[in-house]
């Protein structure tokens, strides 16, 4: 591990910082609360020949590159005046601890209220409308996706967990909608049971992962057997509600992170050349990479994590790159898909899992345009 260097923090009322920002408390607090997330420009060639993941500019309609920052920029404004005895003119150092804590909680709640962890399906055309005055390339790509059958998008919150959450939702939804759910669920549970060995081998104590595992297994089992007396089988609205519930949703995200880490650790020789720190570009050893870039909450996934998780779950995952590059195979407006395949993936008539990637963020592609 590494330690914090004892340099001054923003939240403690650093004089230089506060005076240079010139915007009083709200800006200071915003900086203090903001977890800035960087786009991770590391690319391993995908299995179809590869699209390097290079940050493109102006990918979001308002010109921001990063979804996470976009969200947090908005959250602070306008909400500060109503907090007891606090007004936007005050500086952070004027506030009592209680006021700071209250303010922090309010902002976090405000953030939660603003966008659910995962949203109902909306037509892909609505996403295109957001780009109407922006990138023509992106609009063309969205209409290409629609033409090939991806009519809807299910958005996830931009909190750094979006890859894991999107994949988890799609994974369970695919079982729920399978032609033979009993078979699909049985196969999935058997795969998940096996994944526990990966975690054991990675050295995780059972007590640190079993609660998260149980949440995922209970949800999947409820597709075919009621979770308790008088409780219904899992339905599509029930699935959405489960993934909007912070504890359930985040527990599943944690399990998938641990699984990803366990898979990378178990296949170290394969992944080692690609284990870079997204911040410094330095090569990391397997343990450091897994602890800092996989297990740590809110760390975004890149190719290594995507490939590892797809393989650990025996899944085929396709990721559509919605960026400003011109189509990879020469056709304008065409969208590059990177596919992570697993050898054992049978399919059994189940639909494919496809995610939509915009630099810094993942959502889910759906063939339906509404719930």
Residues of this chain that interact with other proteins (CB under 8 A) are 1-13, 31-32, 35, 93, 97, 100-101, 104, 204-205, 207-209, 211-212, 215, 246-247, 250-251, 254, 257-258, 291-292, 295-298
Find the shortest distance in angstroms from Cβ 3 to other proteins: 5
Find the shortest distance in angstroms from Cβ 285 to other proteins: 13
Beta bridge partners of residue 321, listed in sequence order: 336, 357
Nearer to other proteins, 103 or 128 (CB): 103
Strand pairing class (336-340; 152-154) = unpaired
Query: Which pair of tokens denotes residue 33?
Result: 């609360």
Find the shortest distance in angstroms from Cβ 204 to other proteins: 5
**Cα-based distances in Å from 136 to 61, 125, 133, 153:** 11, 14, 8, 19
Nearest to 252 by CA among 157, 364, 193, 167: 167
Find the shortest distance in angstroms from Cβ 20 to other proteins: 16
Find the shortest distance in angstroms from Cβ 297 to other proteins: 6
- Structural contact between residues 302 and 53, judged by C-beta atoms closer than 8 angstroms: yes
Find the shortest distance in angstroms from Cβ 13 to other proteins: 4
Residues 6 or more apart in contact with residue 135 via CB below 8 angstroms = 58, 59, 324
Please give the helix or strand (H or E) that residue 154 lies within, else none: strand 152-154
Query: Can you tell me the distance from the alpha carbon of 98 to that of 354, in angstroms, rounded to the nearest whole number?
Result: 45
Find the shortest distance in angstroms from Cβ 233 to other proteins: 21
Find the shortest distance in angstroms from Cβ 291 to other proteins: 7
Mind giving me the DSSP string for 15-46?
Answer: HHHHHHH-SHHHHHHHHHH-------------
284 Cα distance to chain centroid: 22
Sheet strands side by side (includes 353-358): 122-123, 152-154, 361-366, 353-358, 317-321, 336-340
Find the shortest distance in angstroms from Cβ 31 to other proteins: 8
Nearer to other proteins, 54 or 296 (CB): 296
Nearer to other proteins, 15 or 84 (CB): 15
Q: Within a 10 A sphere around the Cβ of 358, how many other Cβ atoms?
A: 20
CA torsion through residues 272, 161, 176, 153, sign: negative
Nearer to other proteins, 20 or 205 (CB): 205
Nearer to other proteins, 70 or 288 (CB): 288
Nearer to other proteins, 142 or 242 (CB): 242
Nearer to other proteins, 292 or 334 (CB): 292
Nearer to other proteins, 7 or 20 (CB): 7
Beta bridge partners of residue 153, listed in sequence order: 122, 365
The alpha helices in 267-329, defined as continuous H runs, are 268-271, 286-289, 303-312
Nearer to other proteins, 60 or 213 (CB): 213
Q: Which residue is associated with the tokens 């008088």? A: 230
Query: Can you tell me the distance from the alpha carbon of 199 to that of 204, in angstroms, rounded to the nearest whole number?
Result: 6
Find the shortest distance in angstroms from Cβ 252 to other proteins: 11
Nearer to other proteins, 180 or 200 (CB): 200
């Amino acid at each position: 591990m590494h330690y914090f260097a004892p340099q001054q923090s923003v939240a403690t009322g650093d004089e230089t910082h506060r005076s240079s920002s010139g915007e009083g408390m709200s800006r200071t607090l915003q900086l203090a609360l903001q977890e800035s997330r960087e786009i991770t420009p590391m690319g391993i060639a995908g299995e179809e020949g590869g699209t390097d993941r290079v940050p493109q500019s102006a990918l979001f309609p308002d010109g921001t590159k990063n979804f996470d920052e976009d969200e947090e920029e908005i959250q602070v404004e306008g909400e500060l005046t109503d907090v007891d005895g606090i007004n936007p003119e005050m500086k952070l150092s004027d506030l009592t601890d209680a006021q700071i804590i209250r303010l922090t909680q309010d902002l976090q709640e405000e953030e939660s209220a603003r966008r659910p962890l995962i949203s109902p399906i909306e037509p892909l055309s609505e996403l295109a409308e957001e780009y109407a005055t922006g990138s023509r390339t992106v609009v063309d790509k969205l209409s290409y996706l629609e033409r090939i059958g991806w009519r809807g998008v299910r958005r996830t919150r931009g909190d750094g967990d979006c890859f894991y959450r999107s994949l988890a939702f799609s994974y369970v939804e695919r079982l729920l909608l399978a032609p033979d759910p009993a078979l699909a669920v049985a196969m999935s549970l058997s795969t998940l049971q096996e994944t526990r060995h990966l975690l054991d081998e990675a050295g995780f104590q059972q007590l640190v992962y079993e609660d998260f595992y149980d949440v995922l297994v209970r949800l999947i089992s409820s597709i075919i057997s009621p979770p308790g007396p008088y409780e219904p089988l899992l339905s599509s609205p029930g699935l959405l509600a489960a993934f909007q519930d912070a504890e359930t949703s985040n527990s599943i995200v944690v399990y998938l992170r641990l699984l990803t880490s366990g898979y990378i650790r178990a296949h170290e020789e394969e992944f080692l050349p690609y284990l870079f720190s997204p911040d410094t570009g330095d090569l990391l050893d397997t343990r450091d990479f897994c602890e800092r870039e996989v297990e740590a909450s809110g760390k975004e996934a890149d190719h290594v994590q995507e490939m590892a998780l797809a393989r650990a779950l025996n899944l085929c995952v396709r990721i559509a790159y919605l960026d400003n590059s011109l189509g990879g195979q020469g056709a304008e407006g065409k969208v590059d898909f990177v596919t992570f395949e697993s050898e054992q993936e049978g399919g059994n008539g189940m639909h494919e899992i496809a995610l939509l990637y915009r630099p810094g963020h993942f959502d889910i592609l759906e063939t339906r345009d509404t719930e």
